Structure 1
Amino acid sequence: MSLVKKFATVASGTLMSRVFGLTREMLMAAALGTGPVADAFNAAFRFPNTFRRLFAEGAFNAAFVPLFAKEIEANGMEGAKRFSEEVFGVLFSVLMALTIIMELSMPLIVRTVIAPGFVDDPQKFGNTVSMAIIMFPYLACMSLAAMMGGMLNSLHRYFAAAVAPVFLNIILIGVLAYAWYAGHDGIAIGYGLSWGVMAAGLVQLTIVWFAVRKAGISIGFRRPRMTANVKRLLVLALPAAITGGITQINLLINTNIASGKEGAITSLANADRVYQLPLGVVGIAVATVLLPELARALRSGNLKEAGNLQNRSVEFILFLTLPAAAALLVMSEPIIRLLLERGEFTAESTSRVANILAIYGLGLPAFVLIKAFIPGFFAREDTKTPMIFAAVSVVINIAMALTLFPILAETGIATAEVTAGWVNAILLFATLIWRGHWGRDIPLLTRIPRLIIAAAIMALALSYAIKWAEPYLVAQAPVHVQAAGVFGLIFMSMVIYFALAFGSGGASLGMIRRNVKRRAKAPEPPAENP
């Protein structure tokens, strides 16, 4: 199977999740706006979500996948089953202890870590604590699901793990629809969403558990023991968890800082949800597929194939993210107005969120490139170097956010995130080159400037087109008219960009159809049919 097909398999599931996530965000914005209940829910949900990225997805995608794949090659499926059961026993025990400790400490954690700015508002503070207590067990479910998702990825079964997150959004949309039908107030909606998050964790864990059984591995519980394999996993997982969750670390820190202003947390969350659509679809797909492919190529000693995988992935990323970044920068306000401005979400809220989204657009290529560069380290079992660079970017983020928040409010926090992201991407790329792990690729070097020029011309044309289409984009226009205007502009932008990209040689059908094709030396196990 070609890399493009594998990217597409993961991206299709991720796209479903992001589209349903946008729908959920639209309903939440209409029901709660950027008010105190929305702030409380978003702050409370940020905490288990951060831990999920730190100790589940980041760690296991980086450390577990290469070790699990190596175990399959060395000892077959029986050895892989034994290794997964050893890890499951330790992970389950640690998660239960962590959940109990965090639940008992939640008031202190909210007061000192999550949202110290809420302390002066007893109702908002109390709601945040209660919602966080309800949602925190979601971490345990998703951590175990991430482990099983890593197993599925190693077995070339990408779809189940990619589509499982859709059910979080489906359940929350169901909660919001019922709340609208029953006429619930904001507080009831917030608590309903919290219980929905908890239920979604159980549903997602069930989906991947059945998928792993279908793949031929039945995981039983073993008494937790620190075997040699588990110790090796922990050595790799700690720095990998920090590195993989760097964006979430920054978001948690920024949530803490933003709690000092009413509506700032929700404004950042709303913009993040929109910008996560291109970031998630492209970035997660590339990172999920690239890591096991790189690890496999390096173990077989095929350095040429490893280099080709990296270069073609970056080429594919820039081809898709540069126009998306330009579009977010130029037309963020019409997008936010169409998606969110209704009910409790006002024109002022649109302006605030659109400004943040435009800044995030500038950082989109950096955040996606990070996901392509990190596998170059993790596949070689080097998780410390990316962790150091992640720590540097956190320091930059904190310093800039604290400096800019009093001046620019939430847009200052977004600026800090984007700057930290670019620093991290540059450090990763420069180190890969310095170590000789990234060979010079003439096609890539010649195409990047052409893609940048194509995206810039597209952005210029789009800015003029927005002025012409302004009557169709204003809040007074009916929703279907706004939708026609926004999608018309997007279609026009795509035509201009693709014409310039292909016409200038920045992209070619061969780049998409042939260059990313991986010719394996040995046949792969049959992939799951989505």
Structure 2
Amino acid sequence: MSRFGSAMGLSAIGMASKVLAIAKTMLIAALFGAGASLDAFWVAYTLPLLLPALLTNVVTVAFVPRFMASLEGFEGPEAWRGANTLFTTILLLSVFAAAAMMLWAPVLVGVLAPGLAPETQAEAVRLTRMLMPTIPLLTVSSLLSAISNARERFTLPALEGVLTNVAVIACALALVRPLGVGALIIGVVVGLVAQAIVLVSGNWSMLVRNVRPALDWRHPDFRAPAAHLMPLLIGSAGAILASLVSQFFLSHGESGAISLMAYAMMFAFLPVEVFAQAVITTFYPTFGRHFARGELVQAAEAFADGIRFVLFLTVPCAILLLVYAEPLMVLLLERGEFTASDSRAVATLAAILAVAMVFRAFAYFNHRILHAALKPWLQVGIGLACVATHIVLCALWISDHGAVGVAFAMLSATVLEAFLSVAAAGWVLRIRWHTRLVREIGRLALVALPMALVAVVGFEWIWPPEEQARVRISLVGMGLAAVSLVVGLAVARLVRQPDLQWLLGVLHLRRLANAERP
């Protein structure tokens, strides 16, 4: 399967996961709205997942190029001794971190969300401790996901969102009355256990042949990724710090501000997780191979293809969310404990973050080039500069603009990251001026402009509705959003946009294959 086919296959799984995530979010909104108890959940949910999220990114990025260069095709514990040392060391660190975070949970909650009311902080501490034992479990899943991605077997790691979201929905429905927001924590734990079982089962034969505990810290296959790990840890910690900074400032705002931002980020960054992450995951091993062989021209061509594909998938999503954020929130969230004012607040934040989403996807893809080229400190410098920008802007804007100021700070920092990272990627690839990529971005602009025009005209025609007609008019708005998307696709076909041409070709071949079947 081509890189584009793999990316679209992962996107399909990602879409299923995010459809379930939307259903989960709708259920959470109806049950809890955007109040203090849900703020406690989001704070608790963030803390135990910090280390596994960090490890997933760090191990995957550090391990994949090394695997592609030296371990591919080799079998047995001795061949894998360096990799086994890496895995064993990280697993031991995760056990130690879980114990330490369990003990110091009150301090962590107090530092990261100091503005919460005392009772909300106490609830956040209780929920955090419920999740702490999952840290080693998540670490195992992270390691297995890294191995699967390095072997270009992307399906099993992509199932994580599906399993977790199904578990959270089921537990929320069954346990919300006796446990309140604790039902959501139980659902997260059940989903993570299911994902670990799936990954172990899917990699069982490989694990039996190759993976053993080892602590050979002098092994070259450990030392090379370990040398790459330090800058990655710093850079990834900086990226995580950006979200914690937002939470820190939001905790000083009105009750529910953390929850409102969580809703907005879920919808705004959904295209990154569904589409862009799939493209990044499937292109990254290719970058690793090309850089290992010194094939800069081929790496530059793959980079251009990937950037074009990422933008083709994310720009239309950003346009539709920027324009139709409020009708979407009315339809999906505005029921039960979630009010019309909550819809308007989330829509405002989501519209700002929709623009940030495109630049985030762009920056994430650029960073993979830097990691494949073994230039991680360059990415670290870019990332930390952007985190510092985010902190400064949050401090400047939070008092006058509240959550909106935090969203604009996030957007500004993300735009800066995108421009710095693409300049760095071009330098690593020795690209002075990629004519074909510039031409393709211009072609994408021709697609985006008429689509945006139709979307804006349609929205101005129907909005705002009377209060009693909000749901009906929102449905009309979704229809107009679909019309604007069709306009964009029609223009893309007219200008022969390559990614749409590839997709139409795949669909045509499948129709022919189905027609030839008896």
Q: Same fold, TM exceeding 0.5?
A: yes
Per-residue deviation, 1:466? 2.1
Instruction: Read off the aligned partner of 1:46 and give its amino acid letter.
Output: T
Please give the alpha-carbon distance, in whole angstroms, between the structure 2 residues aligned to 1:379 and 1:242.
17
**Structure 1 residue 21: Cα displacement:** 1.2
CA contact (8 A) 1:99 1:140 kept: yes
Q: By how many angstroms is 1:470 displaced?
A: 4.3
Counterpart of 2:292 in structure 1 is 299
Relative to structure 1, the CA distance from residue 216 to residue 329 in structure 2 (aligned partners, 3 Å threshold; closer, same or farther) is same
Q: Which residue of 1 aligns with 2:100?
A: 101
Given that residues 113 and 247 in structure 2 are in contact (C-alpha distance below 8 angstroms), is that contact kept between their aligned partners in structure 1? yes
Distance 1:276 1:436, change over 3 A: closer
> Which residue identity is paired with 2:355?
L
User: CA-atom RMSD, angstroms?
Assistant: 2.4
Note closer, same or farther for the CA distance 1:260–1:204 as it changes in structure 2 (3 Å cut): same
Matches within 5 A, 1:387-426: 387-426=380-419
| Aligned-partner Cα distance in 2 for 1:505–1:245 | 41
Distance, in Å, in 2 between the alignment partners of 1:15 and 1:134 is 29
The alpha-carbon distance between structure 1 residues 23 and 219, as it changes in their structure 2 partners (threshold 3 A), is farther
Please state how far the C-alpha of 1:246 moved relative to its aligned partner: 4.7
Offset of residue 116 of structure 1: 0.4
CA distance in 2, matches of 1:368, 1:45: 24
**Map of 2:67 onto structure 1:** 68
Secondary structure, in 3 states, of the residue corresponding to 2:285?
A: helix
| Cα deviation, residue 74, structure 1 | 7.3
* 244-253 or 271-280, larger mean C-alpha shift: 244-253
Relative distance call for 1:80 and 1:342 in structure 2 (3 A) is farther
Change (3 A) 1:296 1:167: same
2:246 corresponds to which of 254, 279, 292: 254
Q: Deviations over 1:334-359 (max 9, x none)?
A: 11111111111111111111110000
Q: Residue 130 and residue 76 in structure 1: after superposition, are their counterparts in 2 closer, same or farther (change >3 A)?
A: same
Distance 1:469 1:218, change over 3 A: farther
* Structure 1 gaps, min length 5: 516-530
> Mapping of 1:486-501 within 5 angstroms?
486-501=477-492
Is 2:147 the partner of 1:156? no
- Name the residue aligned to 1:340: 333
Mapped partners of 1:508, 1:158: distance in 2: 21
TM-score (norm 2): 0.91
Report deviation, 1:201. 2.1
Match of 2:26 in 1: 26
**Contact kept? 1:27, 1:173, Cα under 8 Å:** yes
The residue that corresponds to 1:518 in the other structure is none
Do 1:33 and 1:346's aligned partners in 2 also have CA atoms closer than 8 Å? yes
Q: Specify which structure has the bigger relative contact order, considering alpha-carbon pairs within 8 angstroms and separated by 6 or more residues.
A: 1
The 1:223/1:432 distance shift into structure 2, 3 A limit, reads closer
Between the two proteins, what is the percent identity of the paired residues? 24
Instruction: Write out aligned runs for 1:455-494 (5 A).
Output: 455-470=448-463, 476-477=468-469, 481=472, 484-494=475-485
Q: For residues 456 and 312 of structure 1, what CA distance do their matches in structure 2 show?
A: 22
Give the counterpart of 1:231 among 190, 214, 223: 223
Give yes or no for contact 1:86–1:230 (8 Å, CA) kept in 2.
Answer: yes
* Residue aligning to 1:178: 174
SS at match of 2:375: coil
The answer as to whether partners of 2:81 and 2:216 remain within 8 angstroms in 1 is no
Q: In the alignment, which residue of structure 2 is the partner of 1:521?
A: none
| Counterpart position of 1:198 | 189
- Alpha-carbon distance between aligned partners in 2 of 1:348 and 1:150, rounded to the nearest angstrom: 42
Tell me the distance in 1 between the aligned counterparts of 2:276 and 2:324.
22
Task: Call closer, same or farther: CA 1:79–1:368 in 2, change over 3 Å.
Answer: farther
Distance in 2 (alpha carbons) for counterparts of 1:246 and 1:394: 6
- The one-letter code of the counterpart of 1:193 is L
1:525 maps to which residue?
A: none
Displacement of 1:275 in angstroms is 1.6
Question: Once the 2 structures are TM-superposed, how far is the Cα of residue 437 of structure 1 from its aligned partner?
Answer: 3.5
Q: Deviations over 1:95-149 (max 9, x none)?
A: 111111111011111111x21012xx22111100111111123332222211111
Displacement of 1:416: 0.7
User: Residue 84 of structure 2 contacts residue 214 of structure 2 at CA under 8 Å; is this kept in 1?
Assistant: no
The reply to whether residue 124 of structure 1 matches residue 132 of structure 2 is: no
Q: Conserved in 1, the CA contact under 8 Å of 2:65 and 2:292?
A: no
1:83-103 deviation digits (Å, cap 9, x = unpaired)? 442222211111111111111
Distance 1:227 1:17 in 2: 41
The question of 1:166 aligning with 2:165 is answered no
Amino acid at match of 1:212: N
Structure 1 residue 79, shift from structure 2 partner: 5.3
Call closer, same or farther: CA 1:218–1:136 in 2, change over 3 Å.
farther
- The corresponding residue for 2:514 is none
Structure 2 partner of 1:13: 13
Q: Give the CA deviation at 1:71.
A: 3.0
Equivalence for 1:115: 113
Partner AA of 1:213 in structure 2: W
For residue 90 of structure 1, what is the aligned residue in structure 2? 89
Does residue 136 of the first structure (1) align with residue 132 of the second (2)?
yes
CA contact (8 A) 1:37 1:124 kept: yes
Q: Which runs of 5+ in 2 are unaligned?
A: 507-518
Compute the displacement of 1:514 (Å): 8.8
Counterparts of 2:90 and 2:427, CA distance in 1: 36
1:44 pairs with 2:44: yes
Trace 1:377-388 onto structure 2 (pairs within 5 A): 377-388=370-381
Q: Aligned letter for 1:82? A: R
Please report how far the alpha carbon of residue 302 of structure 1 lies from its aligned counterpart in structure 2 after TM superposition. Answer: 2.9
> Which residue in the other structure is 1:527 paired with?
none
Give the Cα separation in 1 of the matches to 2:473 and 2:278.
31
2:260 aligns with: 267
Do the aligned partners of 1:502 and 1:508 also contact (CA within 8 Å) in 2?
A: no
Structure 1 position 462, deviation (Å): 1.0
Q: Match of 1:431?
A: 424
Hey, what's the Cα distance between the residues in 1 that align with 2:31 and 2:234? Answer: 35
The Cα shift of 1:423 comes to: 0.7
Q: Residues of 2 paired with 1:156 and 1:191: CA distance?
A: 37
Change (3 A) 1:416 1:456: same
Q: 2 CA distance for matches of 1:443 and 1:510?
A: 16
Q: For residues 57-84 of structure 1, what are the alpha-carbon distances to aligned partners after superposition, in whole Å with 9 as ceiling and x for unaligned?
A: 2201210111222232474565554344
In structure 2, how many angstroms separate the alpha carbons of the residues matched to 1:110 and 1:73? Answer: 43
Across the two proteins, how many residue pairs are aligned to each other? 504
- Residues 483 and 170 of structure 1: CA distance in aligned 2, closer, same or farther (over 3 Å): farther
Q: Which moved more, 1:217-226 or 1:134-143?
A: 217-226
> Is 2:3 the partner of 1:3?
yes
